[in-house]
Every structure is written in C-alpha cells, then in structure tokens.
Structure 1
Amino acid sequence: MRYQPPSRRISMKRFLPSTTLALFLGFTAASAFAATSSANPWGSLQPDREQVIASLNVVELLKRHHYSKPPLNDARSVIIYDSYLKLLDPARSYFTAADIAEFDKWRSKFDDLLKSGDLDPGFLIYKRHLDRVKQRVDFALGELNKGIDKMDFSVDESLQTDREKAPWAKNSAELDDLWRKRVKDEVLRLKIAGKEPKAIQELLTKRYKNQLSRLEQTRSEDIFQAYINTFAQSYDPHTNYLSPDSAENFDINMSLSLEGIGAVLQSDNDQVKIVRLVPAGPAEKSKLLAPADKIIGVAQGNGEMVDVIGWRLDEVVKLIRGPKGSVVRLEVIPASNAPNNQTSKVVAITREAVKLEDQAAKKSILKLDHEGRQYSLGVIEIPAFYLDFKAFRAGDPNYKSTTRDVKRLIGELQKDKVDGIVIDLRNNGGGSLQEATELTGLFINQGPTVLVRNSDGRVDVLADDNPGAYYTGPLALLVNRLSASASEIFAGAMQDYHRALILGGQTFGKGTVQTIQPLNHGELKLTLAKFYRVSGQSTQHQGVIPDIEYPAVVDTKEIGESALPEAMPWDSIRPAIKPESDPFKPFLTELKARHDARAAQNPDFVFTRDRLALAQKLLHETKVSLNETQRRALHTEIETQQLTMENTRRKAKGEEPLKELKKEDEDALPSEDDKLKPEDDAYLVESGQIMLDFLGLNSAVAKH
C-alpha cells in the first residue's frame, strides 16, 4: 500500500529481526578514501564510515528478506548503472559521450562494489554530474545575459523534447547548442504565456542562480541517498533507502497528508507533479487542483512566490508543509493545458491535517428513470479504508472504521428501500488491510478475503469468519486508475466471489507489502510480501480489470504500477476458493452492448475520450518549434480543439457554449450549491443504468 497505517507497519515487523544487522564490523574500506581537490564545494565529498556500514546492511537485508530475492550480480549491476544515469541525467543533457565512456568500466561491477562497501564510483559519477550541471547552468545564464531581445524567434528550428534515448552529446559544443535551444524554448513558452520580456529575464536568471546555490549546498548524504536508493529501487519501485532526515517521515516523497495540502507528489524531470489528491484533504476539498497538475511555484501566505522548477522533491515538500491553519499559495500549470502551454494559475490553500471524520464513508441516493420506471439506487462513497487504531486498541466501542460506517449506511439505505447499491471507490488509494477484509465480510457468507505470500513462499490466508452476509442485494463497484491497494483487494474479492459488477477503469496495480527496517544510518523500506486475490491472481501490476470499462480519465501508460520502472510482474498462485457460477457472465455481452450504445451518445463520455486522445497525441510529439509564429499557431490550434470539445459537450447537455476556455478563479471555493448531485456524475449514472440493465435481464430470464 502506498501508505501503511501503524497497525500494518507493526504487524509486518514479525517478518524481520527486531534489530538492525550489524555487518562487517571489521571493514577497512573507509580508511582507503582519499579526499580529492576540486574548485567546487562538492569536490571533496566522500562517503563516511556510517554510510559504508549502512550500504553493507542494505545489501544483506535485500539478499535475505526481499520478496523476490533476485541475485546481486552483473545483470543487476547493469540495471543499477542505467537507472543511476537516468536519475541524474534523464534528458541526456549534461553528460557527454566521453563521460559515459569513462563510467562504462563500472557498468557490470556495481554488484561487486556494493558487496565490498566501495561507494567511490557512485560518488564520482554524482560529483561529475554536479560539475556538468554547473557548466550548463553557467552557460544558460550567459545566454540570458546576452539579452532575450537578441534571440531570433523567426528562425525555423526545433528542439527535441523527448531525449530519453537520444545519443549522448559528442562534446561540449553539441551541449551548448542543445542548451541554447532549451533556454530559447523556456523564453518562448513564457512569452506565449503572456509574460513581459523583463519579467522573463528576471525569472529565468533567478531560477538558474537558485539552482547554482542549491548545487553548492550538496552534502555527502545527498549523494549517498541517491546512489543507495537507486540500488534499492532496482529490486522494485517501492523498496527505498531513507536517509536519517527522511526516516522521520518515511513517506515524505509520497504524501503531504499531515499539516500539508493533502496531495501525493512525484518528481517529473525538473518539475513536481501531483499524482493524486488525498481524499478529504485540503487540496481535494478546494477543487482547485487535479492529478497531473505541475507545481512550479510556492509562496507562504501573501509572501513572495518562490520558483521551484529544478528543485528536489523533498525541498518542495518542505516549502508546502507548514503550521496547521496557515495558507500556502501554489503556482500551478494545469494538466488540462496543452504540453507547450505554460499558462499558470495561482491557488491558495489552507493547510490542515486530514481528519478521520472527513474521510468517512458517505451515502447519497441516485434517482434514475429506466425503461419507463423510476428507480432509487444507494451510492456509498468510500474515500479511504480507515480505522481509528488508537480508539480500537483502547477498547472504545464507538471507534470509527470503514466497515462500521458502511454497515450503518447500508442499513439506512435499506430503510429508504433502494433497488440496489453502488459503492464508489474512485481515487481510493487504500489504507487498512484489516478494513478491506472486514468490509468484504459484509457482502459474502464467509471465507477467504485475501492471500499474502511471503518471501519464503508461505501463504497466509486472511478470512471473514462470520457466517452470513449483511447485505445480499444488487451491488456494483465503481473503480478507476487511482483505486489502489486495499481498494483492489476489496474489488478483487467482490469480483472473484461474483458478488458485484466491477465497473470503471483498470485499477492502479499495487499488490505488494512493505515494511520499515531501521539501519545504523537511516532506514530501509523493503518489499517482503505480495497480495493475491482469492482466485489466486495477483493484484500486482495488472490491478483489477472491470467487467465493463469506461473511458479513462488519465493515461494508464503514464500513471499506475505498470508505469513504474522495475515494477514486479503479475503472477498467480493456487486459488483459495472454488469457482462458483457467475450470475453476471451470461449477460455481460448484452450489458456491454447497451453500455457502448449509451456511451457513444453520452456527452461526458465522448468528451473524456476525445480529451484523452488529444492529450496522448500531444504527448507523443517529440519536437517543438522554436519559431514563434509556428508555435503560436499550434497553441491557438490546440486551444481551438479544446474549446470545440468543451462546447460540443455543453451543447449536447443544453448548456450555453463558451467563447473562450474557462480560466479558474484562483481563490474560489466550491459552495454547497456547486457540489455535484449523484445525477450530475455521468459515471455514477452509467453505473446505475448497467445495474438496472442487469436486474431487468436477470428478471426476464427468471420469469421464463
């Protein structure tokens, strides 16, 4: 799970020894380190004794306890080497071919180096990277100092934007030309976004000078964490080394749920991207931010906006965090912008801790007309799988939990005589494994709910031991790509028991379990178990595939477990239950046909498909023109397409068309009147229609 609550972390401790492995105490490698002279402040940075011991401990822990136990050999060395270069220079715009030729002598030797505690090559590569970054930043400042008015935007030239597999530059002259174009592209983006030349000059100059200042502050710990974390993540993307600074908040790179904005963030080259919003967090409640938005500036209250392009993720996190009740202002490039559209908006968000009661399950009633009759369907939205662990352990009979709340809501909906229930798990990133198991128990008679396979091959079966189901009526689950972990366990069980129709999008695919192991220096978060559905299928990588799929809101190739490097594969083990007859299978073909017919005419579904298709098309563009006339024409063309799509949807829904694309009000907060009713949510409405289709088809068969 992306975040393990205290109960999960404690229960997983049994898999590892309670004390850190103190290995190779007689090593002598540290004494061999010799300081090197350099004009740069980082030239003399070297690994210390504590870091060497920690690296040896990480090697041994991964060897003994990682779920897959892959060998640390030449093949893994190549993965480590390639990943390290990609981390340091993802766009291949700093190192030269000569640098790479020099580094290649270690390509297949990182396994031996790590086993012996020799960190020197990892440090040398990183420090060479710092040298090259300084050279490039100095060059960029030189270009800006010539004056942006000297730049010729009438020349027909282009910049290659996708350089992940580009050849390494032959020499500095080739990098100079690349960086001349990069600076020109930055200026042109800001010009088209409406900034004045003087403001552009000041902004970019300050940005690059700040980058130089951050380079000078590089510590040995920064190098060590980058290198050892690259090694750890070569096993899987959720195995991480955490430095002593990061260990206090082991999920600092993933969640800002406490005294923050409530968003999951990740680095995206030189920018910070929002992956998802924490349910009931300040950002989600503001309705001003969305997944894939990019944060480019942070300000405290009414203070100066700090440009954070090129900053490390943890540095941006520190700026966004702050005292509860204080205001943070974010400058954001919306995900809805075209790739080359740098137009930004500023949003103000009041920091607060996410309250358990705000994440509680909620109910509503969806009224639908179907085949000449009106139906009422209950909707239960579950933002997270929560458990008030403190109250639970204290024996408080009124402790809050997902299962208890959902059970109460079902009882209330049954009193309202609903015809069926839709459980909305969209954007539910998981939470308590115990709650996923107990919630499953509300809908099945009794039996296994999830399987946990450990690194030694032992399979633990978590089960619902209470006979009888609390709710036996019609049930559908609505999921999407951001439904993860505990959500996938629950949805998978409902699908395997044929208890509910699963509708929506393919889920995230996070099917592994991590634990935290203290080291002499920092901590190691490592994957030591894997979840399996009761059918024996893993939720890892593949996630849960809906019975009927809806248009994706996000690109599943860009977001999800399968998009992460070195993600562990999907597999299966022996099932825990025997397959029973599937009541949905005889009707799925007809249900899909009816859904497709409605979706083809549904303005919201059509809009979602068309918008994603346009975004994917633009993302696959690997070059941008540096000719201002051509660039502005493309910008106008894209905005025209977006406006046409929006107005096509509005016309189909009987709404007034827009003359231009809406610009969000930076300080506007949604009022009670602005909140969507269930009938306004196209995905909920379609889920209800599919459920009613099934009830009608099933009833017709029963009558015959």
Structure 2
Amino acid sequence: MRSISSLFTLLLTLTWFGTTPVQASYSTLEPDPVHQETLKSLAKTLRFGHYKKRYLDDELSSELLDLQLERLDPSRLYFLQSDIDEFEQYRHHFDDAIRAGDSEPAFIIYNRYQQRATERLNFMLGLIEQGLDKLDFARDERIVTERSEAPWPIDHQTQDQLWRKRLKSLVLNLKLSDKTLEDAAKTLSRRYKNQLHRLSQSTAEDAFGVFANSYAGLFDPHTQYFSPRLTENFNINMRLSLEGIGAVLQIQDEHTRVVRLVPAGPADKQGQLKPSDLITGVGQGEEGEIVDVVGWRLDEVVELIRGPKGSTVRLQVSAAEDKGKNPKVIRIVRNKVKLEEQAAQKKLLEIERDGQPYKLGVISIPTFYIDFRALQAGDPNYRSTTRDVERLLGELIDEGAQGLIIDLRNNGGGSLKESVELTGLFIPQGPVVQIKDAWGRIRVESDHNPKFFDIPLAVMVNRLSASASEIFAGAIKDYNRGLVIGSQTYGKGTVQALFPLNHGQLKLTQQMFYRISGTSTQNKGVTPHISLPGRFDITKVGESSEYGALAWDQVKALPHNSSQALSQSQLAAIEQRHRQRADTEPDLIALKEEFDHRQQRQLDSLPLNEQALRELRQRTEAEQLQIENRRRHAKNLPQLATLAELQAEQPSNDDIDLEQDALLREGTEILIDLLSIQTTAMH
C-alpha cells in the first residue's frame, strides 16, 4: 500500500456540458498508517463495549456499504450506477477489512466521491458561465425533492439533466427572493467555487472519519467517532453553544442544521430559530452581506456565527420541510449563556373560570443541572435543579398555589441524579428509573426521602423533551402522580460515555433507561395523558427518526405504590373537556392547522416553471396568512395584510406568559379541570 507521502493530484478535463473546459483539481487520498490501529481499536471497543451486541460478519458488511454510500451521497446525485456496481465487490468484504485494520476499500469509495463531486461542481460552474438566461423558466417540468430511494444516474447525460434541474430550482428560488439573474450567478458561482476549494482540502482524516462514523452508526445514532480535528470542532461547537447564539449545530448533507437550542441562550430567547432549521447564510451586524454557507465545514460556519458579546449576527434560515428554500433572516444579538438563566423559574398565575378564582404555580425547568464543583467543595448552598425547585415550590405554596405545572418542554435532559431527586419531591419514596448495561445488569435509582409535596401536578412535555426529562415524566405517569400533557417525547433512552482511542475518541452507547413499569423510554419516549398540538413531525424529529436507533423493549416492572390522585374515570372526563376546548379555542385550532399546513408543504416534486412555482409559493403563503387571520378574527384581533407582519410579531421566549403561550394556557385549563374534578369527588 502506498503511503500518504505518495499523495498526488489528478487533473480532469470536463467537456460534456458543451462549454469551455474547466480544470478540476482533487487529491487522491490514502490511509495513514495510524488508521490501521485506530480501526482495530474502534472495532474492539464497539464489539465489547457497546450496548448492542453486533458481530463483524457479512450482514454488517453489507449494511456498512449501504450506509457509507448514503452518507456520502444521500440524494443519489454524485455516484453513477457503474460506480455502485463496482463497489458491490466490497459488500461482503468490509468485515474482513476491518479485522485487518484495512480501510483502503473505504478510501477507494471516498476518492470516487471526490472525483464525481468535482465533476458535478465544475459542470454547474460551466452552466453558470454559459449564462443563466439560457435556462428556460417557462418550460413545464418538475424536480423531485426526495431522491433517497431514487435510482442512481445511469450515465453522465442522465446526471447532467438532474443537475440542470437542480441549478434551475436554485435560480428560481433566488429569483422569487427578488434576486436578479446576475445576483444568482454570483451567489451560486461563489458557492460552487467554495465547495471545490473545500474538496481540494480534503484529507485522509476526512475519508477515514466518514468510514469510521458509518461503521459506528450501524450500532446506534449516538455512537460517534471523533478524529483529533473533529474533537476540536466538537469542542468549538460546544463553546458556541455557551458563547454565541446558544445553538448546537451539525452538518446535514450540504446544510448546517440546528440540533437544539441552549435553554436561556440568545437564540432561545429571541424565539424565531427552531431546532431542525437549516442555516443557509450568515451576515455580520445590521447590514453586513449575508454569506452563503451551503457546503461549508461546520467549524467554518461556527466561526462566522461566533463573535463579541453584544454584537449582532443575522442568520438566513429555512424550515426543515422547505429544504433550504423560502429563507427568512433572523437577527440575534450574541451573548454568553448565563448558567443562572438556565435555572428553574417560577410564576404564580391567577386565573378565574366560571366565577371561581384559581392560583396555579408554574415552574419552568430548561435543563437538569447541578453545580458539581460546588458540591464537591462542600458548599452547602450549591445550586441544583431539585434544590431550586423545592425552594420555588415552597414559595408558590406560601403564595397560595393550589396546583403546579412543571414545564419540561424543550428540556433535553442533563443530570440523571437530578431527575431522580426531582421525582422524589413528588412521591413518598420508591424506585424512579432502571438502568441496564451492555451485559444485562440492571441497577435501580430510587428516592429514599419520605418527604414530598402532595400538590396536584401536571407535567408539560414536547418532542424536544429528552433523556432526564423523560425519566421524570415517565415516573410521574407510572406513579399515577399527575397528568402528563403535550406531545410524545423525544425517545432518547440511552447513556453515552467517551472512550479515548489511539487516534481520536469514541462516544459509545453503554446503557439504556427503563421506567419502573418496565418499559423503555428509548425510541417511543413518553406518551402524554393529554395530547396537545406539536410543531415537529415525529417521523423527522426524534429518536425514532434516526438511522440505527436502538429498538424499544422492556424489562421486569418494579413494585411501587401508585398514587390514587388520578382515576381512569377522572382522566376520561378531563380528556373530554380538553377536546371540547380544542374544537373551539382559536389558538389550539390554529396550531393544529399550522402543523397540517407544514405537512402539506412537503411535496414529492416542485415545478420548475417560474409562474407555476410563484403561484405555488403565493398559495402557500396565502394559506398560512389565512390560518393566522382566522385565529385573529376569532379573538377580535386586527387582521394582517402580509406574512412579514406576522414574522415581525414573533414573541420571544423570555418569560412565562399565558397570552403568548397557547399550550401553557391550555395546560392551566387542564390542571383546573383536575382540581375541579377532584374537589367534586371529595364532596
């Protein structure tokens, strides 16, 4: 095998698009000697350390080839069918290669990807050079938006047509955003030249990393290999989450995707950026040029987004269902996320219904936190979720709270210890969660403190409530201690740990959570008692949407003393009252209509005729505006003339506000239903 020192540059002259030949430069990459031991170490750690027992065999090898191709070319736009046919020789060979520490077959596939990608980018630059006015925007044709199951292009001519349509679609969307053809040519030319430049900078680490992560991804989506450089990028991203806009990002295909928002961070407070949004451009200050970042590396995007505290960054984003189209610009003032702002917060709500006054407490918990440093130092006043909630709840009770809502929406988890101890505030004592390791051993985390608050309780969750949030919500439901309200939770019921390798490190899934009922939170999450409209499509957001997610299963249930706080007849009565409100309450109707509208926008194909696309865009925007104006009419609010007015009114997430938060408002109505039904039962 040749060493990395023999790396050379290939030059390819492209002529089939009928314009001036363009010189495409890319490097043929070869495995570094260190990769041999890394691959063996990776295989050993996965084999003996991962929760899921998988063997290096032909079945795994076959899956690995498919996943490698999917990760390199998810839309089947780069590789030709002849490439795929050639790669078939490796379908049952990867297992043997991994045992030997041989990543050369993976490098052959990666190098072919580089070749095809370079060809395609130069093809697009050639079309742009010919002139975008040569594209026929009056022609009646369509572009397929989802190609993950499409056939691979049979030849270059077939591929040319796919990419011509792709260019036409991009230009049309820029035109509909009031860009001239000249502007579009500049934007797209710069984009493809940047992508070519990035391809030319690819290293053996990049090729090995794709292969190693495809291999790790066969075990579960949270098991990841980090090369030394990727480890640095990961750390940069974590710093960004605390010293920028407060968002965790990842690369998805050519786009930068928002994975989650850091609670109480600038983006979370601003309220417009959402998890799963795609960032397509970044601008500095109030008027700086929006730089197109499609195809950029994550660390390069992060570098643009980071900046001094108090400065402004403008993000050009599209909703996930729009796949980079219909962009809007979001203005965010950078700041450092203050840990104290991530702490639990309370509010006492005074509500009157049917002439009866109610006082309800709301405690919002953005994350499960604990100050380990202060705890280890012996500080008796160390901060933690449980200690803060206990204090806040005591204050609310002193203020006359008759019931409590624990708001865990968007809470992605945190300290397992805190989820167990927080549960302990609401149950006399007993088991809270079961944790099974890779060898089948089960340990039980329990609450041993008999002290608890016997206040009527509701827990609000949504699709982004994960991990520790699911442990708490699941325990409250299993103990029949209170109502769980919202939408099905994320379904992350696994635990990861970092393991150093001889070169880089591996994040490895080692354990799985189970509720005291014996059911896992993995994949299925926690299903609420009362379902409320959600923003996220559970087929696209959540553990169950991830490739290779570990399956749901169950273990033996633990004996526990269930509360008598909620009977089945009471639950049925509460559900019936909620449905009656949901059929008439303008905000709830609008939320459901908006979700249905987003689902309808996910078309299998889009027109490439300018007039047809413009009409589709106008119809879509008109429908969205109609939903909002129907809601406003029902609430005697002034009508809006444009969507721009609606976007300008987007609320921030700074405070607990019933007027802005329709779901929380319905949560209070449901809790009042519980209080009134329990009061009637007592009499």
- Which TM bucket (shorter chain)? over 0.9
For 1:257, what is the secondary structure of its paired residue?
Answer: helix
Per-residue deviation at 1:581? 6.0
Picking from 666, 669, 672, the partner of 1:692 is 672
The answer as to 2:115 corresponding to 1:131 is yes
1:341-352 mapped onto 2 (5 Å cutoff): 341-352=325-336
For 1:678, what is the secondary structure of its paired residue?
Answer: coil
Per-residue deviation at 1:676? 5.7
Structure 2 Cα separation of the partners of residues 669 and 598 of structure 1 = 24
Residue 13 of structure 1 is matched in structure 2 by: none
1:102-121 mapped onto 2 (5 Å cutoff): 102-121=86-105
After superposition, the C-alpha distances for 1:101-153 in whole angstroms (9 at most, x for unaligned) are 00011112211111111100111101100100110111101111111122211
Instruction: Note if contact 1:63-1:71 (Cα within 8 Å) is conserved in structure 2.
Output: yes
Per-residue deviation at 1:247? 2.2
Picking from 509, 533, 553, the partner of 2:491 is 509
- Alignment-mate amino acid for residue 506 of structure 1: Q
For 2:251, what is the secondary structure of its paired residue?
Answer: strand
For 1:399, what is the secondary structure of its paired residue?
Answer: coil
The answer as to 2:508 corresponding to 1:526 is yes
Instruction: Note if contact 1:298-1:328 (Cα within 8 Å) is conserved in structure 2.
Output: no
Instruction: Note if contact 2:247-2:262 (Cα within 8 Å) is conserved in structure 1.
Output: yes
For 2:541, what is the secondary structure of its paired residue?
Answer: coil
Instruction: Note if contact 1:42-1:219 (Cα within 8 Å) is conserved in structure 2.
Output: no
Picking from 352, 364, 386, the partner of 1:369 is 352
After superposition, the C-alpha distances for 1:190-245 in whole angstroms (9 at most, x for unaligned) are 00111122211111111111111111111111111111011001100000000112
1:162-181 mapped onto 2 (5 Å cutoff): 162-181=146-165
- Alignment-mate amino acid for residue 305 of structure 2: I
For this pair of structures, how many residues does the alignment match? 669
Residue 552 of structure 1 is matched in structure 2 by: 534
Instruction: Note if contact 1:339-1:618 (Cα within 8 Å) is conserved in structure 2.
Output: no
For 1:647, what is the secondary structure of its paired residue?
Answer: helix
Picking from 416, 424, 427, the partner of 2:399 is 416
Picking from 455, 480, 484, the partner of 1:473 is 455
Structure 2 vs 1, CA of residues 386 and 522 (structure 1 numbering), >3 Å: closer, same or farther? same
Residue 659 of structure 1 is matched in structure 2 by: 641
Structure 1 Cα separation of the partners of residues 322 and 84 of structure 2 = 34
The answer as to 2:291 corresponding to 1:306 is yes
Q: Which moved more, 1:546-555 or 1:560-569?
A: 546-555
1:188-227 mapped onto 2 (5 Å cutoff): 188-227=172-211
Report 1 or 2 for greater relative contact order, CA contacts < 8 Å, sequence distance ≥ 6. Answer: 1
Structure 2 Cα separation of the partners of residues 32 and 259 of structure 1 = 38
Unaligned runs of 5+ in 2: 12-23
Per-residue deviation at 1:318? 3.5
Structure 2 Cα separation of the partners of residues 194 and 73 of structure 1 = 54
Instruction: Note if contact 2:497-2:509 (Cα within 8 Å) is conserved in structure 1.
Output: yes
- Alignment-mate amino acid for residue 375 of structure 1: Y
Per-residue deviation at 1:422? 0.6
Residue 7 of structure 1 is matched in structure 2 by: none
Structure 1 Cα separation of the partners of residues 310 and 353 of structure 2 = 49
For 1:601, what is the secondary structure of its paired residue?
Answer: coil
Structure 2 Cα separation of the partners of residues 314 and 566 of structure 1 = 26
The answer as to 2:246 corresponding to 1:262 is yes
Structure 2 Cα separation of the partners of residues 105 and 255 of structure 1 = 43
Residue 304 of structure 2 is matched in structure 1 by: 319
The answer as to 2:125 corresponding to 1:141 is yes
Unaligned runs of 5+ in 1: 1-28
Instruction: Note if contact 1:454-1:529 (Cα within 8 Å) is conserved in structure 2.
Output: yes
Structure 2 vs 1, CA of residues 180 and 543 (structure 1 numbering), >3 Å: closer, same or farther? same
Q: Which moved more, 1:405-414 or 1:678-687?
A: 678-687
TM-score with structure 2 setting the length: 0.93
Instruction: Note if contact 2:244-2:335 (Cα within 8 Å) is conserved in structure 1.
Output: yes
Structure 2 vs 1, CA of residues 601 and 146 (structure 1 numbering), >3 Å: closer, same or farther? same
Per-residue deviation at 1:34? 7.5
- Alignment-mate amino acid for residue 85 of structure 1: L
Structure 2 Cα separation of the partners of residues 92 and 153 of structure 1 = 25
The answer as to 2:537 corresponding to 1:565 is no
Structure 2 Cα separation of the partners of residues 671 and 628 of structure 1 = 36
Structure 2 vs 1, CA of residues 624 and 669 (structure 1 numbering), >3 Å: closer, same or farther? closer
Picking from 10, 30, 52, the partner of 1:38 is 10
The answer as to 2:435 corresponding to 1:452 is yes
Picking from 450, 463, 470, the partner of 2:446 is 463
1:527-542 mapped onto 2 (5 Å cutoff): 527-542=509-524
Structure 2 vs 1, CA of residues 31 and 285 (structure 1 numbering), >3 Å: closer, same or farther? closer
Instruction: Note if contact 2:2-2:30 (Cα within 8 Å) is conserved in structure 1.
Output: no
For 1:538, what is the secondary structure of its paired residue?
Answer: coil
After superposition, the C-alpha distances for 1:43-69 in whole angstroms (9 at most, x for unaligned) are 442111211111110000011110011
The answer as to 2:263 corresponding to 1:279 is yes
For 2:244, what is the secondary structure of its paired residue?
Answer: coil
For 1:38, what is the secondary structure of its paired residue?
Answer: strand
- Alignment-mate amino acid for residue 443 of structure 1: F
Structure 2 vs 1, CA of residues 251 and 81 (structure 1 numbering), >3 Å: closer, same or farther? farther
Give the CA RMSD over aligned residues. Answer: 2.3
Structure 2 Cα separation of the partners of residues 479 and 456 of structure 1 = 32
After superposition, the C-alpha distances for 1:17-41 in whole angstroms (9 at most, x for unaligned) are xxxxxxxxxxxx8879976773376
Per-residue deviation at 1:254? 7.4
Picking from 559, 577, 580, the partner of 1:597 is 580
Structure 1 Cα separation of the partners of residues 500 and 601 of structure 2 = 45
Structure 1 Cα separation of the partners of residues 225 and 334 of structure 2 = 32
Structure 2 Cα separation of the partners of residues 249 and 101 of structure 1 = 35
Picking from 470, 476, 495, the partner of 1:494 is 476
Instruction: Note if contact 2:312-2:333 (Cα within 8 Å) is conserved in structure 1.
Output: yes
Structure 2 Cα separation of the partners of residues 418 and 580 of structure 1 = 24
Structure 2 Cα separation of the partners of residues 57 and 657 of structure 1 = 63
State the identity %: 45
Residue 23 of structure 1 is matched in structure 2 by: none
Q: Which moved more, 1:482-491 or 1:193-202?
A: 193-202
After superposition, the C-alpha distances for 1:337-367 in whole angstroms (9 at most, x for unaligned) are 9668534314243142x22101011111222
Picking from 608, 624, 628, the partner of 2:606 is 624
Q: Which moved more, 1:477-486 or 1:608-617?
A: 608-617
For 2:185, what is the secondary structure of its paired residue?
Answer: helix
Instruction: Note if contact 1:189-1:340 (Cα within 8 Å) is conserved in structure 2.
Output: no
Per-residue deviation at 1:580? 3.2
Instruction: Note if contact 2:272-2:652 (Cα within 8 Å) is conserved in structure 1.
Output: no
Residue 228 of structure 2 is matched in structure 1 by: 244
- Alignment-mate amino acid for residue 99 of structure 1: D
Instruction: Note if contact 1:364-1:678 (Cα within 8 Å) is conserved in structure 2.
Output: no
Instruction: Note if contact 2:226-2:504 (Cα within 8 Å) is conserved in structure 1.
Output: yes
Instruction: Note if contact 2:272-2:330 (Cα within 8 Å) is conserved in structure 1.
Output: no
After superposition, the C-alpha distances for 1:263-294 in whole angstroms (9 at most, x for unaligned) are 13233332222233111111112224223332
